[in-house]
Amino acid sequence: GQNIDQPTEMTATEGAIVQINCTYQTSGFNGLFWYQQHAGEAPTFLSYNVLDGLEEKGRFSSFLSRSKGYSYLLLKELQMKDSASYLCAVLDSNYQLIWGAGTKLIIKP
Amino acid sequence: ETGVTQTPRHLVMGMTNKKSLKCEQHLGHNAMYWYKQSAKKPLELMFVYNFKEQTENNSVPSRFSPECPNSSHLFLHLHTLQPEDSALYLCASSQGTENTDGQYFGPGTRLTVL
């Protein structure tokens, strides 16, 4: 079966750095997405990785290793507004999105 | 209006009621989706429409009935629901069903079935 694993919850301190991991086992791979979802709001697109390596976008970076079935989202200089759930999703061989259950990130002052 | 909108944002209904959820996208996309989001679970894909035609029905019970009159509008008709159907129902759209540009989500309808 297809599976996406990410931690259920993480806590970090304002101003610090946090890394949210995602491992996947899917039938084929056509890319990996990270979405941010604040409570009661729509998931919003953060990043898309299809090649190995690190992609940086401001305070957020996303890394992919296809051989290891592994990705992480790196958030730097954490702000209180970064408190949200972070969803990992893989595009499989049929171009269907397979979703993880999300990681709830709690930022403390 | 921009992006993807959903109405109502909150809905409480009894098990014998009939209600409908509405979704509208203003992005010029061709594909639209209904998802169910329950706490601590992955998004569950329910239905997919591409150019108004239903291309996916992920074994969803018949008490959920989708309707897509055109590429911009999507409805989810609800009848005789069960308490376990209480969840956040998200609508999304994408340029095409290959999803390589990602999906754009509405804010969802928080449904409570009593």
- Tell me the residues of A at the B interface, defined by beta carbons under 8 Å apart: 4, 8, 30-31, 33, 35, 40-45, 48, 87, 89, 91, 95-102
Provide the pLDDT for residue B51: 86
- Nearest one of B102, B101, B69, B74 to B90, comparing CA atoms: B74
- Across the strands, what pairs with A103? A86
Residue B40, both tokens: 């601590």
Provide the pLDDT for residue B52: 81
Provide the pLDDT for residue B1: 57
Provide the pLDDT for residue B57: 78
Provide the pLDDT for residue A68: 96
Of A4, A33, A96, the CB nearest to B42: A4
Residue A11 has pLDDT above 80, yes or no: yes
* Distances A76 to A59, A62, A73, B41 between C-alpha atoms, Å: 5, 12, 10, 27
Note whether B105 contacts A95, CB cutoff 8 Å: no
Provide the pLDDT for residue B90: 97
Residue A51 has pLDDT above 70, yes or no: yes
Q: Is B47 exposed, middle or buried (0-12, 13-18, 19+ CB in 10 A)?
A: buried
Q: Is B40 exposed, middle or buried (0-12, 13-18, 19+ CB in 10 A)?
A: exposed
- pLDDT, tens digit, 9 for 90 and up, residues A57-85: 999 999 999 999 999 999 999 999 999 99
Q: Mean pLDDT for each 10-residue chunk of chain B (114 residues)?
A: 90 92 96 94 93 83 94 95 96 90 94 95
B30 inside 8 A of chain A by CB: no
| Helices and strands: H and E segment counts in chain A | 0, 11
**What dihedral angle (degrees, nearest 10) is formed by the CA atoms of B89, B90, B91, B93?**
-160
- Chain A: give the shortest CA distance to residue B16, in Å: 26
- pLDDT, tens digit, 9 for 90 and up, residues A91-106: 999 888 999 999 999 9
For residue B7, list chain A residues with Cβ-Cβ distance below 8 A. none
Q: Decide the pairing of beta strands A103-108 and A9-13.
A: parallel
The single residue listed with the structure tokens 């957020």 is A60
Provide the pLDDT for residue B99: 83
Q: How far is it, in rounded angstroms, from Cα B97 to Cα A11?
A: 35
CB B33 within 8 A of CB B21: no
- Chain B: give the shortest CA distance to residue A31, in Å: 8
Provide the pLDDT for residue A102: 96
Q: How far is it, in rounded angstroms, from Cα B48 to Cα B66?
A: 9
Note whether A95 contacts B98, CB cutoff 8 Å: yes
Q: How far is it, in rounded angstroms, from Cα B108 to Cα B11?
A: 11
CA angle B106, B77, B114 (to 5 degrees): 90
Note whether A33 contacts B107, CB cutoff 8 Å: no
Mean pLDDT of all residues in chain A?
96
Best mutation target among B5, B99, B110 (most A Cβ atoms within 10 Å) is: B99
